[in-house]
Structure formats: C-alpha cells, structure tokens
C-alpha cells in the first residue's frame, strides 16, 4: 500500500493503482486485479465520496504495473509495464462523446476502455443490394482471390441458418431476446429489421477483421448502410443492382434457399431497396450485376485491386519491449515512453489517432526517439 497526497487528499493506493485528477474528480485506476471487480473508483472532491462507475468496453487483462497520463481531459492513456508494445497501449475514456451519451443512458458515472492499435487499415467496404442480386457471390470471389487483404464482418441475425451456413462463419445465429438485450447494451455498430428478422453488425465483428490487418467487408441492407454512414466508421459504400427485376426474381428462385412466402417478401422489399439504392446518394458506387465476371472486374476497379492479385497487406507492425519501470511525458501529440536510459526512449505518436470506445483506438504510430523532431 502506498500513500499519495493528491489535491489535498490522502489516497491509499495499492501497487496496481494509479490516480489522475480531472476537474473535481480523482480517477483511481487499477483497483484489485480481480476480473470481476470494476478496477475503477472515482473520488468526488466536492463531497469527498467515492463512486464506483459503470465500466464499458474490454479492459486489459491485468493492470498490475502501469503508467497513466491524462490526454485532453477526455481520456487517460494507460501504458502497461513489462509487456510488448502492441499489447500495452490502452485508453480509458472519461468524457468523450461516447461517454457523454452513455452517462445519459445509465444515469451513473461511466468510463470506457479502448485498446490502442498501432497502424491503420484501409477503409471498410459496405456492400448493399436486394436479396438475390449476387452480393454474396461477389464477396466470395473477392475473399477467394484476396484472402490476405479482406476479411468478412460476420453479422448477427435472428433468422434460421440455411442448410450450408455455419454459425460464426456466415452469421452469428442468435435469438431475438438475446439480440435485443445486446442492442440495448451498445454492442452493435448498426442493426435493422430486414425481411422480418433482426440483423446487425457488432463493433467486435468489424474490429477483429481490422485487428488481423485486413480490410473489412460488410454485407448489409440499405438501412444498415445508412446507419454506418452516420457512424464514425469511414467506409466505401457500394450498391449492387440487378439488370432487371425479372432477372432478380429468377436468381432468388434459382438459389432455392427461401420458401415461396419468403421470396414474395424479399421481392416486395427489393422494390424499395432499389429505389433507395439507385437514387438516395447514399452510395459511392452503383454496380449493375449483369454479367458476373464483368461486374467483378468493376468491383475490383472500384477497390483499386485490378493490379494487386494476391498482394500481401502493406502494414508492418513495429513491436517494442516495454520494461518493468517506465515513465511517460508528453510533447504535443507525441508521448515519450522513457525506458530507463536515453537510448531506450520510444515515441508513441497520437497525431493520427481515430476511433475509440466502444471499439479500438486506431492510427497510432510507435518508433524509436531518434525520429522525434
């Protein structure tokens, strides 16, 4: 137990804890290392009372040995000691827009964890279009030809699996009650009722693809595309249109995966989707899927891939070993991580930082000090 006087308060901190003052609150981070504990407490200086906040996001497995540094009064940078740099950078958001929104919802103090990720991946690709137009077929071609470049965002749905569909691969198949609860708890980037079922993209589904250094492909309906447009995810929006309504009906029937009643419902919805997709200005590109090979070529052109068959991802991840003892200092948007001796200093560059809770914080750079200007 260490004693620390901060803003006139005698804080008794454990070895796992650090404290940061923001306005009239003292945030004590770490707490016990028990995964069931919130790991957080806040001292309200005006009342001298401790508050246990609602903690959102995925927190680090352990906080034993960490440094904390306040950034912009809205988030705290946490750097874990004695770890690899790609696992050691975390943010605790305390007053970002996301936190302000959640505070209204929970009516409590709220903080949220977001893992810091070095580097960035290319913009995700949203593909929409009426059922049976060939979205899945085009996406499969792309994934087969460019397995190292693209990853599929596996949506959640309440519809029943088709014969060859696997849970966790094509969809996360789930119950309506479970999904409604998860929507309430903020798990989804977007969701929509489509053809009588719920479909949604979880934040995690997009993050796991980006974590693997791949570009994420989302196969979602027009309502979902509109929600993503309004979200913080900067994506490219592509609408796939059939050559004619008759051809769409033919393909949907030939696929043989829906009952007659479901086909009728999907065709009715297709009319509205085609109208919105072709006229709303929501989409960056409209591709008519007449001849499959020709449409696939146009899709590759739009994604800048025609020359890139089987190219490896261009990201290189730099990993540093962080010592048991380190200290942090800030120069504008650059954080100097002092690793003991002058030669060992490294810089965490936050100038291209984006994203954040409830997802990851991306676009960070890390390099040895000699590059600091």
Q: Which residues bind ligand 5GP (CB under 6 A)?
A: 131, 155, 159, 190, 192, 194-195, 199-201, 219-221, 223-224
What 3-state DSSP class applies to 231? coil
Does residue 153 contact residue 315 with C-beta atoms inside 8 Å? no
Out of ligand ADP, ligand 5GP, none, what residue 298 binds, judged by CB under 5 to 8 A for its kind, is none
Tell me: does residue 169 bind ligand ADP (CB under 6 A). no
Out of ligand 5GP, ligand ADP, none, what residue 287 binds, judged by CB under 5 to 8 A for its kind, is none
Does residue 201 contact residue 190 with C-beta atoms inside 8 Å? yes
Q: Decide if 266 is catalytic.
A: yes
Out of ligand 5GP, ligand ADP, none, what residue 54 binds, judged by CB under 5 to 8 A for its kind, is none
Nearest approach, Cβ of 165 to ligand ADP (angstroms)?
A: 11
What is the spatial distance between Cα 337 and Cα 321, in angstroms, rounded to a whole number?
A: 11
What is the spatial distance between Cα 123 and Cα 234, in angstroms, rounded to a whole number?
A: 6
What is the spatial distance between Cα 17 and Cα 266, in angstroms, rounded to a whole number?
A: 55
Please give the residue whose beta carbon sits closest to ligand 5GP in the complex: 224
220 φ, ψ (degrees, to nearest 5):
-135, 160
Q: Decide if 4 is catalytic.
A: no
Binding mask 125-144 for ligand ADP (x = CB under 6 A): ----x-xxxxxxx-------
User: With respect to ligand ADP, which residue has the nearer C-beta, 103 or 251?
Assistant: 251
Question: Which residues in the 273-332 window bind ligand ADP by CB under 6 A?
Answer: 289, 292, 295
Helix (H) or strand (E) holding 181: helix 176-184
- Given 266, 339, 360, 362, which residue is catalytic? 266
Does residue 130 contact residue 273 with C-beta atoms inside 8 Å? yes
Out of ligand 5GP, ligand ADP, none, what residue 224 binds, judged by CB under 5 to 8 A for its kind, is ligand 5GP
Binding mask 238-257 for ligand ADP (x = CB under 6 A): -------------x--xx--
Q: Decide if 251 is catalytic.
A: no
Out of ligand 5GP, ligand ADP, none, what residue 132 binds, judged by CB under 5 to 8 A for its kind, is ligand ADP
The number of angstroms, rounded, from the C-alpha of 186 to the middle of its chain's C-alpha atoms is 12
Angle between helices 260-279 and 222-230 in degrees, nearest 10: 40
What is the spatial distance between Cα 66 and Cα 78, in angstroms, rounded to a whole number?
A: 7
Nearest approach, Cβ of 157 to ligand 5GP (angstroms)?
A: 6
Nearest approach, Cβ of 193 to ligand 5GP (angstroms)?
A: 9
Nearest approach, Cβ of 96 to ligand 5GP (angstroms)?
A: 25
What 3-state DSSP class applies to 95? coil
What is the spatial distance between Cα 224 and Cα 204, in angstroms, rounded to a whole number?
A: 16
CA distances (Å), origin 57, targets 35, 50, 54, 98, 358:
13, 22, 10, 11, 6
- Interface residues toward ligand ADP, by CB under 6 A: 129, 131-137, 251, 254-255, 289, 292, 295
**Residues with catalytic roles:** 162, 255, 266
């Amino acid at each position: 137990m260490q004693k620390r006087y901060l803003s006139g308060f005698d804080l008794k901190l454990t070895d796992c804890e650090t404290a940061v003052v923001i306005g009239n609150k003292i945030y004590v981070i770490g707490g016990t290392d028990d995964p069931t504990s919130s790991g957080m407490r806040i001292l309200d200086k005006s009342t001298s009372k401790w508050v246990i906040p609602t903690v959102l996001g995925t927190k680090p497995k352990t906080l034993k040995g960490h440094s904390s540094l306040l950034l912009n009064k809205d988030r705290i940078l946490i750097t874990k000691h004695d770890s690899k740099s790609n696992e050691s950078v975390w943010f605790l958001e305390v007053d970002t827009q996301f936190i302000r929104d959640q505070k209204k919802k929970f009516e409590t103090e709220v903080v949220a964890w977001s893992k810091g990720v070095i580097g960035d991946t290319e913009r995700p690709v949203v593909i929409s279009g009426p059922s049976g137009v060939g979205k899945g077929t085009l996406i499969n071609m792309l994934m087969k030809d460019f397995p190292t470049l693209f990853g599929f965002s596996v949506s959640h749905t309440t519809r029943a699996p088709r014969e060859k569909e696997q849970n966790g691969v094509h969809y996360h198949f789930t119950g309506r009650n479970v999904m409604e609860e998860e929507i309430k708890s903020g798990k989804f980037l977007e969701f929509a009722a489509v053809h009588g079922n719920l479909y949604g993209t979880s934040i995690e589904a997009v993050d796991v693809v980006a974590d693997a250094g791949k570009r994420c492909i989302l196969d979602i309906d027009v309502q979902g595309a509109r929600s993503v447009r309004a979200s913080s995810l900067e994506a490219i929006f592509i609408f796939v249109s059939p050559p004619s309504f008759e051809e769409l009906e033919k393909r949907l029937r030939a696929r043989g995966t829906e009952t007659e009643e479901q086909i009728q419902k999907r065709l009715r919805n297709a009319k509205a989707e085609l109208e919105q997709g072709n006229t709303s200005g929501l989409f960056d590109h409209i591709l008519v899927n007449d001849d499959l090979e020709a449409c696939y070529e146009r899709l590759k052109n739009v994604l800048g891939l025609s020359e890139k068959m089987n190219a490896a991802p261009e990201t290189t991840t730099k990993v540093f070993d962080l010592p048991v003892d380190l200290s942090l200092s800030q120069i504008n948007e650059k954080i100097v991580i002092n690793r003991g001796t002058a030669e060992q200093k490294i810089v965490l560059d936050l100038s291209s930082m984006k994203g954040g809770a409830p997802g990851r914080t991306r676009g960070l750079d890390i390099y040895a000090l000699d590059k600091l200007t």
